[in-house]
Amino acid sequence: METFTETDQHVVIKNQGTVPLRLIPVLPYNVFLSDVLALLQNSKNHCVNYYAFPYADKLKFICCIADDEAGNLKVLSHEQSLQREVQLISIAK
């Protein structure tokens, strides 16, 4: 049974669900940032996980936004080259 749905911007999984890493859409940082901030404008949403890890020759960012009312998580991704140093706009205020 499939435990996730895909959109162009993110994957939605049920609480405690899983999704293959390769199926999480990779967004340009400006889109990733905009989408995360838009999701967090809704008071029923909150960030439960935000991390980055080396992945191939890149740094892969994963953000998980929980909607407790709907019982799901929206999973977004961004990748940044490890070959060049870039200063990203912070999600935190």
With 90 as the cut, is the pLDDT of residue 93 above it?
no
Nearest to 30 by CA among 72, 91, 93: 91
More confident residue, 65 or 5: 65
**What is the spatial distance between Cα 45 and Cα 70, in angstroms, rounded to a whole number?**
10
Rg (CA), the chain: 13
Report if residue 90 sits inside a domain: no
- Number of structural domains (the chain) is 1
Domain that holds residue 33: 4-9+26-81
Report if residue 15 sits inside a domain: no
Q: In the chain, what percentage of residues exceed pLDDT 90?
A: 58
pLDDT tens per residue across span 6-45 = 566 788 888 888 888 988 999 999 999 999 999 999 999 9
Cβ atoms of 79 and 28 within 8 Å: the answer is: no
Report if residue 62 sits inside a domain: yes
| pLDDT (0 to 100) of residue 7 | 63
What's the mean per-residue pLDDT of the chain? 87
